[in-house]
């Protein structure tokens, strides 16, 4: 099967080799050194400010979203959430669950964020803003410099879910004044799922230190303390951490994140050019390099099913009210030119058979 979803994605052979081995014992000095190296490489890739930290939680991306709400925010915060789709709604749900005072910047599905969307919330006493840099359900990439300027002008702590965007899209943690960034192992890092990365700038670290712990397993205090010695508080997904280390080293040794981003960007643009003669419409006004959301009149679920069953290709369906009209194609992971050609050939073959509406 060829995998063009937005995660988990296809992996290089160097990553896959770890899965064929027994998981090693991890309470060792060798594993600690590997973890400290991974932290340094992750912070470099994120362009984090000095004295930042990165911890590795054995959880999905949603676990990292929740730990930001629990441990960086507190009951005194007045929070803004950018809600333009399923994952923006998830941040809003987490704020409601944990009793955070919250307002939503609601955007229509696939729409970009504009200055006029932010302005009504200026000088209103908000202390933090949560945003999914790429709203993965629609493929839209929000204007992070715009958001960063708004947060700086208003003294707002900026917390960013870059689960889909990390590596695929430009991300400058220090320059944009981002206090915390989260991402996941199964996206552009292109390893197995199971690990969420949480990078914390000094202002977020101070918040974590001052706020009381409200969780044992997702405690950032505990993760940071254990991370000082290159360890985790509980048994982690060891094999995935080994894969992450291999992948971060490989990216760093082969031109860095900028070079990897160029490859992902080239794939995204080539695919979008390739489908111009098909009965699709690009949904996102400002799409991420990570994913292309395609709108059809109807039959999106049938398209994803036929691609899987008849052509051996996975793409992402959408749920809810967009299940019949939107599907998504990912551009992250170990995708080569022959794979891209196979997907386009399959779509054109389906069109020739009258299967696309």
Phi-psi region of 49 (alpha: psi -120 to 50; beta: other; left: phi over 0): beta
C-alpha triplet 232, 205, 39: angle, nearest 5°? 45
Determine the pLDDT at residue 285. Answer: 87
CA 328 – CA 275 distance, rounded (Å): 13
Q: pLDDT category, 355, cuts 50, 70, 90?
A: very high
- At residue 272, the 3 state secondary structure works out as helix
Q: What average pLDDT does range 65-69 have in this prediction?
A: 98
CA 124 to chain centre: 29
Percentage of the chain beyond pLDDT 70 is: 100
Q: Note the pLDDT tens digit of each residue in 17-55.
A: 998 999 999 999 999 999 999 999 999 999 999 999 999
**Residue located via tokens 């699709």:** 280
Closest among 333, 343, 330 to 288, alpha carbons compared: 330
Against a cut of 0.95, is the pTM above it? yes
CA 132 – CA 141 distance, rounded (Å): 9
Q: What share of the chain is helix, strand, coil (3-state, %, to 5)?
A: 40, 20, 40
Count the residues in the chain: 357
Q: Where are the beta strands (DSSP E) in the chain?
A: 2-3, 53-58, 78-83, 101-106, 128-132, 134-135, 140-141, 157-161, 178-184, 195-200, 281-282, 291-295, 313-314, 316-317, 326-330
CA 299 – CA 205 distance, rounded (Å): 47
Q: Note the pLDDT tens digit of each residue in 303-320.
A: 999 999 999 999 999 989
- CB distance 12 to 338 below 8 Å: no
Determine the pLDDT at residue 357. Answer: 75
CA 42 – CA 107 distance, rounded (Å): 31
Concatenated DSSP letters for 273-287?
HHTTTSS-EE--SSB
Instruction: Return the C-alpha torsion angle 45, 144, 207, 234, nearest 10.
Output: -40
DSSP 146: H
Q: Note the pLDDT tens digit of each residue in 252-300.
A: 999 999 999 999 999 999 999 999 999 999 999 899 999 999 999 999 9
**Residue located via tokens 């789709």:** 85
- CB distance 314 to 4 below 8 Å: yes
Exposed / middle / buried, residue 260 (Cβ in 10 Å: 0-12, 13-18, 19+): buried
- CB distance 347 to 310 below 8 Å: no
In the Cβ-directed half-sphere of 124, how many Cα atoms lie within 13 Å? Answer: 15
CA 348 – CA 330 distance, rounded (Å): 18
Phi-psi region of 256 (alpha: psi -120 to 50; beta: other; left: phi over 0): left
């Amino acid at each position: 099967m060829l995998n063009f979803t937005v995660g988990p994605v296809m992996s290089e052979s160097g990553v896959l080799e770890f899965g064929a081995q027994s998981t090693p014992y991890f309470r060792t000095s060798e594993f600690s050194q590997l973890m400290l190296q991974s932290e340094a490489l992750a912070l470099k890739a994120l362009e984090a400010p000095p004295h930042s930290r990165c911890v590795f939680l054995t959880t999905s991306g949603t676990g990292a979203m929740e730990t930001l709400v629990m441990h960086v925010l507190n009951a005194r915060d007045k929070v803004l959430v950018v809600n333009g789709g399923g994952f923006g709604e998830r941040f809003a749900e987490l704020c409601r669950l944990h009793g955070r005072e919250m307002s939503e910047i609601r955007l229509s599905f696939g729409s970009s964020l504009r200055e006029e969307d932010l302005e009504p919330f200026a000088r209103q006493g908000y202390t933090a803003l949560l945003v999914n840099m790429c709203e993965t359900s629609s493929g839209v990439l929000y204007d992070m410099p715009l958001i960063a300027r708004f947060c700086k002008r208003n003294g707002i702590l900026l917390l960013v879910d870059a689960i889909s965007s990390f590596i695929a899209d430009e991300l400058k943690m220090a320059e944009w004044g981002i206090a915390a960034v989260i991402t996941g192992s199964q996206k552009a890092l292109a390893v197995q799922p199971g690990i969420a990365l949480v990078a914390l700038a000094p202002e977020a670290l101070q918040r974590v230190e001052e706020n009381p712990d409200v969780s044992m397993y997702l405690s950032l205090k505990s993760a940071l303390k254990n991370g000082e010695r290159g360890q985790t508080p509980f048994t982690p997904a060891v094999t995935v951490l080994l894969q992450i280390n291999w992948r971060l080293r490989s990216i760093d040794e082969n031109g860095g994140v900028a070079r990897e981003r160029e490859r992902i960007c080239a794939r995204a643009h080539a695919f979008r050019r390739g489908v111009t003669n098909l009965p699709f419409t690009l949904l996102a006004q400002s799409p991420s390099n990570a994913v292309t959301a395609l709108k059809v009149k109807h039959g999106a679920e049938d398209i994803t099913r036929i691609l899987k069953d008849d052509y051996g290709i996975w793409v992402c369906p959408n749920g809810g009210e967009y299940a019949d009209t939107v599907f998504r194609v990912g551009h992250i992971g170990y995708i080569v030119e022959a794979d891209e050609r196979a997907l386009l050939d399959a779509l054109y073959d389906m069109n020739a058979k009258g299967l696309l509406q």
